[in-house]
Each structure stands twice: as C-alpha cells, then as structure tokens.
Amino acid sequence: MVQQSMSPNQATNQSEQPEKMYLPRTSESEKLKKIRHTASHVMAMAVQKLFPKAQVTIGPWIENGFYYDFDNPEPFSDKDLKAIQKEMVKIINRKLPVIREEVNREEAERRIQNIKEPYKLEILADIKEEPITIYHIGNEWWDLCAGPHVENTSQLNPKAIELESVAGAYWRGDETKAQLQRIYATAWETPEQLTEYKRRKEEALRRDHRKLGKELGLFVFSDLVGPGLPLWTPKGTLLRNLLEDFLKQEQLKRGYLPVVTPHIAKVDLFKKSGHWQKYKEDMFPLMADDEEAAAQEQGFVMKPMNCPFHIQIYQSELRSYRELPMRLAEFGTVYRYEQSGELGGLTRVRGFTVDDSHLFVTPEQLDSEFLNVVDLILSVFNKLQLKNFKARLSFRHPASDKYIGADEAWEKAQGAIRRAVEQLGMEHFEGIGEAAFYGPKLDFIFSDALDREWQLGTVQVDYNLPERFELEYVAEDGSRKRPVMLHRAPFGSLERLIGILIEEYAGDFPLWLAPVQARLLPVGEVQLDFTKDVVAKMQALGIRAEVDTSGDRLGKLIRNAEKDKIPVMAVIGAKEVETNTLSIRTRASGELGAISVDEVLDTMKSAIAKFENF
C-alpha cells in the first residue's frame, strides 16, 4: 500500500473559521453611522487640503464604511491615499469641533458660488426641505449634509480608519456625465474591529468566486461576448445541471409541471403585465422593425421575467377548479440591462437563469400552497448546507407609487404571508418597500461565512397579475372565479446561487455536488489498466470519476487533486492492485487507508444518494 502523509481537511477547516467578533453594519449602529459620516468629511477635507483643485460631490456611508466622489484633474494613486490618510490623522488629532449650522436656500447657494463648487449646486437643488443643514469641521471646511456626526474629531480613532481603494464613478451614476474618482474607506469604533474587518476581507479574497471559478475551470467571461454574460465551461455546465436536476426531481415529487418559454416576446405582453411601465429602465431596449414602430413602442423585447409567459400557458384554455393548484415550473433565462458599474462576477449579471415557478391556486388553497413552497425552499437549503438565514417579509411602502393594484389585494396578500410565518414559528422581520411592484414577498436572506447577506429563495403572493390578465377558473358551483398566483424561486438566480456556493464552500463542494467526485492516482504505468477498470465501475454507478494520466510523481498528483478540490482521491500502487483495494484520501476526513474497491463503490454511492460526504 502506498502511504504519504496528508493533513486532514477538517483541521484546515477549523483554522479557517472566522473569529466570532460582531461587526455591526452602519444601519445597525447610530454611533458607527456618526463615526463614518464624520470620517468621510475628514477625508474630503484632507483631499482638498492636499489637492486644492479637487471638487467634492457626495460622500455617504455604506454598510461597511463610506466613500466620497471627487472630480480631480489627476487620478489618485496608492501613494496619494497614504498621504490623504496621514493628513486625516493630523485633522483628527487637532480635536476640531464638528458644528451643525442651519441656513436658508439663498445663503447656501451664495456660499457654494463663493467657493465655486458646481456639484454642490446640483445637490442643493435636490434638497426639497428647509432649512438647509451644513456641517463644519472647525472653521476650515464645510459641506451640505443632513448628518449625523460626532461632536469633535477627537471622537474618531485614527487607528480604526483605513482608506481602501479608488474606483471610477459617473456623476449621478449616469454614463453620459462626468467621470469621478471614488475613494472607498472604512472606519470603526476600535482598532480591533478594523483588524477583524481586514481579516474578513482577506478571507473574502481567498473565497472570491471569480478567482476560484477560474481556478476550478467553471466559467469564463469574454470581452467579445460582453460584460455580465458568463460562459459556462464543461465543468461549470455540469455543476449547473446537477443543481437543476436536483431541484427538478424535488419539484416532480411535489406535483410541478415543467414548461419552456421563449427568450423574447412582443412588448405588448409586458405592457399588459405592467413590467414595461414599471420596469422599463431595467430591460434591454426595444427591438422595433422601423422608426415608426419604435415611436409607437411596438416590437419585441428580451424577457426580464417569466411570469407573463406562464400566465399565457394557464390562459390558453379555460381551467376547472379540479385542475388547481396548477404549478408551472421552468429554469427560464431572463435578461436585465444592469449598469456596467453594478456588475460583479456571477452575483450581478445581465443574463441569468431563474428556477421559476408560478402556482395558480384558489383562494382557499393559498395558505396550504404557500406553506408547501416554504417547505420546499427549506428542504433545498438543507441539502445545500445553507443554515444561516432569516426570513424577510417584503411588503410595499404605503407612500410609494411604484406598485400596482388595489389596497385590498395588497392587504390580503400581505396577510397570507404573515399567517404563514406565524404558523411556522419562523423568525422574521419586515422589509417595508421591498415588495415586487405586483405583490409582497417572503424572501430568505442568507448570511455567508463572512457575515455578508444575500437574498436567495423567494415566494410572492400576487392578486394583481391575475386581475390584469383577467384569469379565471370554473368553480365547483359553475361560476367563474379569479385564481391567486404564487411566484416562487428556491434558488433565486442560478448564477448568483453558484457564486455564493463557491464562496461559502471556498470551492470545496460537497461530494454530491462536486463536478469531479473522485480522482484515481496511479503510481505508475503498470497500475493504469487496473485504475481505468475501477473508474469504469464508478462511472457505471453514476459516480463522476477520472484518472490522472499525467505520469507525475505521487506528491504532485496529490497536490494537483488538492488544488482542484477533489472530494475523494484514491492512490493506486502495486499493493492496491494485488489486494483489489484503493488507498483513500478525502478532503472531508483526510487519509482513510486501504479500502476494498467494492466497499469504496458502495460507500460513495450511498453517501452521494444521502447528500453526505465519504
């Protein structure tokens, strides 16, 4: 038997676990909000001291820090960032008071014109309420701001502040306007918090799905194809298919009916659904036959959502109450015209596949069907080993005009969601204003290994689209009644899910989901026939196995398998061939020693079926 030491992956996983230090988001801490708001002003003051030609625009807090956008003739370098941070320390150590002042609009405009800051004039024009608030740092620098701020710069800890990077940004996010330079920074209450934040950032870089996706050969992007449009390699496509097949099987068990719909449709379909009126800015441009058709908004568009298509399938014939609930399901690819600056690997793309389903139910069936959908979503999360999530009741904002439908319909839909989570005893919180324009949602917000939040599964209650499309079914008494729709997607976006899973697993997929589940490592040419025979047996059982035929030394064979994050490795030397065994090493448990071929096959087959590791 061939023996070579290899540390168990369990020990590696333990050393990689993040320390349990709580790092509050800005929105969760009023104190941190004041610190970061003030630090952004100190940074802007430092920039204008060192670069007098720089003009400031906006400088808001974000959840893990803050940024400020500058219009400066020359690009900021890493050396400039160090100089700016050094200047910030000087300002903080001067213990300057932070003073709030209220002025009328005319006075604010006069002051802005005096310092020749045109961006501030645009910002002032957007401020509708008076008086106008200005915050001063000492008597040397000021900016329009609503606050809040600390009372004195001495309340900032310079050792808990760090400038991070420079990026390009368009004024007002408009590509036709001036390109600015955005300095990203972070600020915390203590240096220890900053150290932990930096550690998590380094861990995030190690887990970055864009980096790991390339290393593992899962997907690529091409400039010729365009940004936000991933190309899936054979291994990546296999991973997608595994996830799709897994959910399709779960859905078939639960009475879902598969459908397929086109990628484009007449714009009239989306006018009727309301997407064209409410969602046009996020859709790809209209494809019209000529200028006259374009002027009349007639032509085809790429679909941003699948629901109007499924409605057409339902509406293709008169339905009976006996056919309901009708559960139509599709892995449908949709297209959103995301701004280039908002794209990010797989988590924000322009073309993505939704595990979409639309359930047409009677009002009496609504509660039970909603609970069944939640049960499916929780089952999916369990199989994917996603445990750290919370439920958000995404309701409409009563003062917003972005929604369609009557108040009564919204109240009924929101009531159904609230009843469901209360019946399940599910921990939840309300997100006012997070509803889709046609209905409220129950969204599942997942926190990953680095405490970053992602929205994954969702289920939505919709009374409005059935009304807009005049959907009907024949009730038991022969009358025509209106069904209720449930929109649901346990994965959400398949692309985003895979990006999140790559980072959550750090590329180390569980056995059932790994594109390559086993790699056999023959020590020499003599063992190759035996190795190929074992691989054939594995493949006949549906195990995704391969042989490393590179002829490299054993140490390199093992290192390559580790680098490729193969769950099960089997070393095969003369002793293994003689005894019909495999020397097994797994990423989950380390070295397991010599095991008979038949036992390996049985164990792997059983573990995969049970969603377990070897």
Contact 60, 40 (CB under 8 A): yes
**How many angstroms separate the CA atoms of 533 and 514, rounded?**
22
CB environment 24-49: b (16+ within 10 A), e (fewer)? eebeeeeebbbbbbbbbbbbbbbbbb
Q: Which two tokens stand for residue 508?
A: 């180390």
C-alpha R_g of the chain:
29
Contact 360, 257 (CB under 8 A): no
Give pLDDT tens digits for 556-588: 999 999 999 999 999 999 999 999 999 999 988
pLDDT value at position 48? 94
307 known member of a binding site: yes
pLDDT value at position 326? 98
277: left (phi over 0), alpha (psi -120 to 50) or beta: alpha
37 known member of a binding site: no
145 known member of a binding site: no
Contact 466, 405 (CB under 8 A): no
C-alpha closest to that of 206 among 383, 450, 408, 497: 450
Q: Is the pLDDT of residue 13 over 60?
A: no
pLDDT value at position 242? 96
pLDDT value at position 450? 73
Contact 63, 26 (CB under 8 A): yes
Give pLDDT tens digits for 96-107: 999 999 999 999
Q: Is 41 helix (H, G, I), strand (E, B) or coil?
A: helix
**How many angstroms separate the CA atoms of 386 and 454, rounded?**
12
Give pLDDT tens digits for 283-340: 999 999 999 999 999 999 999 999 999 999 999 999 999 999 999 999 999 999 988 7
For 65-147, list the strands marked E by DSSP.
65-71, 98-103, 132-137, 141-144
Contact 499, 353 (CB under 8 A): no
Give pLDDT tens digits for 239-281: 999 999 999 999 999 999 999 999 999 999 999 999 998 888 8
